[in-house]
């Protein structure tokens, strides 16, 4: 049975009704946190549901005792949960929790229920930016990083731990057992750390979550020097502590803009990496070409220091939490041929991929099959380019939506890192353009117009055979 089928099964629907009743009696966020705890206790380590047994008394204290037996109360908790712990749940809410415990306990097959509850939380709170990384996105990011057995992985904004789980699942693809990676996670939200702890435990991973909630930008480097960093940071954060961090040694590529944390996160990731480390970071599409002077300078330094391996612009609406265009940035400390990187040295090159070509108007709903197909094609292209153990025969020469570009070519374009500037194909249909524009931030649309005008100007100069300096003199 597929995950989507399990989510729609009668047993799961009764659980969701119980979760909704609990949310109505408490608060939606607290209700989902309690639901995750109940589902975790049902899923591990007592398959018969003994961990949820409560023959008498209020439901909330029984839940707390069960978690304490598994030593999960040492983790940071949210303010809402601490308040409930101090005074307990009122009668109606406690009865709703008892119903939820009963509904979860009677399930024959709870597999997939924890993941489904994470998705349900994200669908409710994702519009406000509070979401857990979708599984397809986590799988793609792990595939692009291609973690190997024995490597260490860090996620500085780990959320529910899905990126760490996806990395471990990827490394296990070579017939290793679970826990072949050393995984580390940090997050600013206590409830996220608890969700990550439960999620990673269900996946059989040994993990380090730092013990308490921290803002990774303000906490500074972990000192772990991980082989891989995977990060899905909050996009376009304007109040990120510029004044306090303006002279931070992590900004080796240049000070990040005062009103945007995107390049602070990018440089935090670069600073964390080991000497042969690799990273995949999700950033807004506007970061590839923004006109801000500080951003332009950082992009230039990123290329000149050969830290950028690739940029992928993602298909529109492929991942439901995205409202604006997004890109994945692949970073690498060393792109020379090695066991960590691959057989093909790519020093002085960057692979650009316009993956919007993989989306057609008929697939606007972004179904799981279509997402998996697109994900497989994207990471396979990068595997071929690097020459990793996952590489197959079909490479970038057989597709028209990606291109390997030299640093000289990038410099000639003013260090524009937008894949659309290098992949000269009609990568999207007009219907997709219109659909994407409906959800695009006005600033992103303005940047797109600037880019288009610049490309038209460059093309006109090529046709006329006139250098830019001659236009100025005339």
The tens digit of pLDDT for each residue in 297-321 reads 999 999 999 999 999 998 776 555 5
Range list for CATH 3.40.50.150 in the chain? 135-421
pLDDT over threshold 70, residue 148: yes
* Weakest mean pLDDT among 43-57, 105-119, 363-377: 43-57
* pLDDT at 109 > cutoff 70: yes
CATH top-level class of 135-421: alpha beta
Give CA–CA dist 161/56, Å, rounded.
34
Instruction: With cut-offs at 50, 70 and 90, classify the pLDDT of residue 7.
Output: very low
Whether the predicted pLDDT of 327 surpasses 80: yes
pLDDT over threshold 90, residue 421: yes
Band (370; pLDDT cuts 50, 70, 90): low
Name the pLDDT band for 10 (thresholds 50, 70, 90).
low
Q: What is the mean pLDDT of the chain?
A: 81
pLDDT value for 375: 87
Return the pLDDT at 122: 84
CA atoms within 13 Å, Cβ hemisphere of 191: 19
Q: How confident is the model at residue 20 (pLDDT cuts 50, 70, 90)?
A: very high
Highest mean pLDDT among 51-65, 295-309, 366-380, 441-455: 295-309
Interacting residues of 96 by C-beta distance below 8 A, sequence separation 6+: 18, 21, 22, 24, 25, 26
pLDDT confidence tier of residue 179, bands split at 50, 70 and 90:
low
Q: What percent of the chain clears pLDDT 90, i.e. is strictly above it?
A: 53
Lowest mean pLDDT among 245-259, 402-416, 451-465: 451-465
Q: Which position has the token pair 């690498």?
A: 332
- The confidence band for 123, taking pLDDT boundaries of 50, 70 and 90, is confident
- Which one has a higher pLDDT value, 472 or 216? 216
pLDDT on residue 325: 82
456 burial class (0-12, 13-18, 19+ CB within 10 angstroms)? exposed
Please tell me the predicted confidence (pLDDT) of residue 253. Answer: 97
β-bridge mates for residue 327, sequence order: 283, 313
Cβ atoms 192, 155 nearer than 8 A: no
Count of Cβ atoms closer than 10 Å to residue 189 Cβ: 17
The region of weakest confidence among 28-32, 204-208, 421-425 is 421-425
Q: Give start and end residues of each alpha helix (H) in 273-329.
A: 293-304
The pTM for the full model equals 0.84
> What is the Cα–Cα distance from 98 to 94, expressed in whole angstroms?
6
Residues 6+ apart with CB under 8 A from 419: 288, 311, 312, 313, 327, 352, 353, 354, 402
pLDDT for 450: 54
Is the model's pLDDT at 221 over the cut of 90?
yes
Share of the chain above pLDDT 70, in %: 72
Q: What is the mean pLDDT of residues 172-177?
A: 66
Taking 3-state DSSP, the helix, strand and coil percentages for the chain, each rounded to the nearest 5, stand at: 50, 10, 40
pLDDT band at 48 (very low <50, low <70, confident <90, very high): very low
Query: What is the per-residue pLDDT for 436?
Result: 43
Please determine, for residue 363, whether its predicted confidence score (pLDDT) is greater than 50.
Answer: no
Tokens, residue 187 = 């997050």
- Asked whether the predicted pLDDT for residue 458 surpasses 70, the reply is no
Secondary structure of residue 188 in the 3-state scheme: coil
Of the ranges 46-60, 91-105, 425-439, the best mean pLDDT one: 91-105
- Mean per-residue pLDDT for 185-202? 93
The stretch 178-196 carries a mean pLDDT of: 89
The residues with which 403 forms a beta bridge, in sequence order, are 352
Neighbours of 139 (CB within 10 A): 23
Please, what is the end-to-end C-alpha distance for the chain in angstroms? 70
């Amino acid at each position: 049975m597929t995950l989507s089928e399990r989510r729609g099964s009668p047993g799961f629907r009764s659980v969701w009704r119980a979760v909704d009743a609990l949310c109505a009696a408490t608060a939606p966020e607290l209700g989902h946190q309690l639901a995750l705890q109940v589902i975790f206790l049902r899923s591990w380590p007592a398959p018969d549901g003994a961990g949820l047994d409560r023959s008498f008394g209020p439901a909330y204290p029984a839940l707390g005792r069960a978690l304490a037996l598994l030593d999960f109360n040492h983790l940071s908790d949210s303010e809402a949960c601490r308040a409930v712990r101090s005074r307990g749940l009122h009668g109606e809410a406690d009865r709703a929790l008892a119903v939820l415990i009963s509904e979860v306990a009677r399930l024959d097959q709870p597999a997939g229920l924890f993941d489904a509850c994470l998705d349900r939380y994200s669908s409710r709170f994702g519009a406000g930016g509070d979401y857990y990384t979708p599984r397809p996105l986590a799988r793609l990011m792990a595939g692009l990083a291609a973690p190997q057995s024995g490597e260490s992985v860090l996620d500085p904004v780990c959320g529910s731990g899905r990126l760490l789980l996806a990395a471990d699942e990827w490394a296990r693809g070579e017939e290793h057992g679970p826990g072949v990676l050393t995984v580390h996670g940090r997050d600013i939200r206590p409830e996220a750390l608890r969700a990550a702890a439960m999620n990673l435990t269900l996946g059989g991973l040994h993990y380090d979550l730092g013990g308490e909630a921290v803002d990774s930008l303000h906490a500074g480097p972990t000192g772990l020097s991980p082989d891989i960093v995977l990060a899905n940071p909050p996009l376009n954060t304007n109040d990120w502590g510029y004044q306090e961090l303006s002279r931070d040694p992590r900004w080796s590529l240049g000070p990040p803009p005062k009103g945007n944390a995107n390049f602070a996160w990018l440089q935090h990731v670069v600073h964390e990496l080991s000497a042969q480390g690799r990273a995949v970071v999700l950033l807004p599409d506007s970061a590839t070409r923004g006109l801000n002077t500080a951003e332009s300078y950082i992009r230039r330094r990123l290329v000149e220091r050969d830290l950028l391996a690739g940029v992928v612009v993602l298909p529109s609406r492929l991942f439901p939490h995205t409202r604006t265009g997004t890109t994945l940035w692949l970073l690498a400390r060393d792109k020379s041929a090695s066991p960590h990187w691959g057989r093909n040295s790519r020093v002085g090159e960057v692979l650009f991929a316009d993956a919007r070509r993989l989306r057609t108007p008929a697939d606007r709903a972004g179904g799981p099959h279509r997402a998996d197909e697109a994900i497989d094609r994207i990471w396979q292209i990068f595997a071929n380019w690097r020459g990793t153990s996952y590489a197959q025969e079909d490479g970038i020469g057989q597709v028209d939506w990606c291109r390997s570009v030299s640093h000289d070519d990038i410099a000639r374009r003013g260090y524009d890192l937008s894949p659309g500037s290098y992949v000269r194909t009609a990568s999207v249909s007009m219907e997709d353009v219109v659909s994407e524009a409906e959800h695009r931030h006005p600033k992103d649309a303005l940047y797109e117009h600037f880019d288009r005008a610049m490309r038209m100007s460059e093309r006109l100069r090529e046709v006329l055979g006139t250098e830019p300096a001659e236009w100025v003199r005339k």
